[in-house]
Structure 1
Amino acid sequence: MAERLSLEAVNQQGYEEFIQNFTNIVEHGMLIAGAVWSYRPFRNLDHLHQCFCDFMDSLPAAGKQSILRCHPNLAGKLARRGQLTSESEQEQASAGLSSLTEEQFSQINKNNATYREKFSFPFVICARENKVASILQGLETRIQNSEELELQTGVEEVKKIVYYRLLDKIQDASSTNHPKL
Structure 2
Amino acid sequence: MDKKKKNSMDFGEFVDVFGNVIERCPLIAAKKKTQRPFSDLEDLKKHFFAFIDALPQAGQEGILRCHPDLAGSELRRGTLTAESQREQSAAGLTSLGADERLRLAELNAQYRARFGFPFVLAARFSDRAAVSRELARRLLCPSAQELRTALGEVKKIGSLRLADLLRADPAKL
TM bin (shorter chain): over 0.9
Q: Structure 1 or 2: larger helix share?
A: 2
Contact 2:160 2:170 (C-alpha < 8 Å) held by counterparts: no
State percent identity of aligned pairs.
40
The amino acid across from 2:93 in the alignment is: L
User: Which whole-Å CA distance do the structure 2 matches of 1:78 and 1:176 have between them?
Assistant: 30
| Unmatched runs of 5 consecutive residues or more in structure 1 | none
Q: Which residue number corresponds to residue 40 of structure 1?
A: 36
Q: Which has the higher contact order (CA 8 A, sep 6+)?
A: 1
Number of matched pairs: 173
Whether contact under 8 Å (1:44, 1:175) holds in the other structure is no
Q: Which residue of 1 aligns with 2:172?
A: 177
CA distances 1:120-139 after superposition (whole Å, capped 9, x unpaired):
10000000111111110110
- The 1-side partners of 2:146 and 2:93 are apart by 22
Seen in structure 2, the aligned counterparts of structure 1 residues 6 and 132 have a Cα distance that, compared at 3 Å, is: same
- State the match for 1:113 in structure 2: 109
Describe the superposition over 1:35-76 as per-residue Cα deviations: whole angstroms up to 9, x where unpaired.
111221111111111111111111110111010000000000
- What amino acid sits opposite 1:6 in the alignment? D
Matches of 1:9 and 1:174, distance apart in 2: 18
- Provide the rounded CA distance (Å) in 2 between the counterparts of 1:41 and 1:91: 29
Change in Cα spacing, 1:115 to 1:176, as seen in structure 2 (3 Å) is closer
- Cα distance in 2 for partners of 1:129, 1:43 equals 27
Is the contact between residue 122 and residue 154 of structure 2 (CA under 8 Å) also seen in structure 1? yes
Structure 2 unaligned regions, length at least 5: none
Give secondary structure in 2 for the equivalent of 1:160: helix
> Shift in Å at residue 176 of structure 1?
8.1
More divergent stretch after superposition (29-38 vs 111-120): 29-38
Deviation string, structure 1 residues 3-60 (Cα, Å, up to 9, x no partner)? xx32210111122211111111111111111111122111111111111111111111
